[in-house]
């Protein structure tokens, strides 16, 4: 399992401090939501945040690109120190070529699908990606409620990689993740869990991180 706190819910004036807190509390990844104000109506971080955080943590920097024209940003985020570079299926016309470019620049490639996008839409590239991010809310803002209909897609992805040779991608979920919804996701084969407000709204971040880990372990026992 990988716990990936989203710094969208962190203290914008103390990113380094909050990243150190979650690392000490047992988090595995730092999830960085990059929004351009066009693909989604919010505007957040650029590559400078990745570059600033990279010297201060050994955790995986999991960059989620909610932007139009993600092709234009691959090299700069690679140079900044990103580990995963996840792009939306809905944001590019040349997904396969973009995945190749991400790998060429030394990053792992992820593809994200919005709640209304079916798994079949990305089936042609599932053997080429390192991760599939199932959006469990509509992208753009934190603090939304988990969309239960997305669970079916997690199960479909888990079944696909069981049955298809060469499919080695991780399944990640993002949106409305709590101990309760994490348990549901774990039962359907999810590997990585993005949580924002659930973690950063607590003074002691180790408490929600531990709670997520316990919920995921219990859920995976049911697979």
Rounded to whole angstroms, what are the CA distances from 209 to 50, 52, 145, 190, 205?
22, 24, 19, 16, 6
Read off φ and ψ for residue 147, nearest 5 degrees.
Answer: -95, 110
Active site residue 210: no
Per-residue DSSP letter, 203: S
Active site residue 33: yes
Q: Which residues of 38-50 are buried (b: 16+ CB within 10 A; e: fewer)?
A: ebbeeebbbbebb
Half-sphere CA count of 33, side-chain side, radius 13 A:
27
Which of 161, 143, 154, 218 lies closest to 185 in space, CA to CA? 154
Q: Which of 36, 83, 174, 191 is catalytic?
A: 174
Q: Which of 18, 28, 33, 179 is catalytic?
A: 33
Which residues are catalytically annotated? 33, 174
């Amino acid at each position: 399992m990988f716990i990936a706190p989203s710094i969208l819910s962190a203290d914008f004036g103390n990113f380094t401090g909050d990243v150190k807190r979650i690392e000490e509390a047992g988090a595995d990844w730092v999830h960085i939501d990059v929004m351009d104000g066009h693909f989604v109506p919010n505007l957040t971080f650029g590559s400078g945040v990745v570059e600033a955080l990279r010297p201060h943590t050994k955790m995986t920097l999991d960059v989620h690109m909610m932007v139009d024209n993600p092709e234009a940003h691959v090299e700069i985020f690679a140079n900044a120190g990103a580990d995963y570079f996840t792009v939306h299926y809905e944001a590019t016309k040349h997904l396969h070529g973009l995945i190749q470019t991400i790998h060429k620049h030394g990053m792992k490639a992820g593809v994200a699908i919005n709640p209304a996008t079916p798994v079949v839409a990305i089936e042609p590239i599932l053997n080429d990606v390192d991760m599939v991010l199932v959006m469990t809310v509509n992208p753009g803002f934190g603090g939304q409620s988990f969309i239960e209909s997305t669970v079916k897609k997690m199960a479909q992805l888990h079944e696909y990689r069981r049955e298809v040779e060469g499919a080695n991608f991780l399944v990640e979920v993002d949106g409305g993740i709590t101990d309760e919804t994490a348990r549901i996701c774990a039962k359907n084969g999810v590997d990585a869990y993005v949580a924002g407000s659930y973690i950063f709204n607590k003074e002691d971040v180790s408490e929600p991180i531990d709670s997520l880990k316990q919920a995921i372990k219990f859920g995976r026992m049911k697979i």
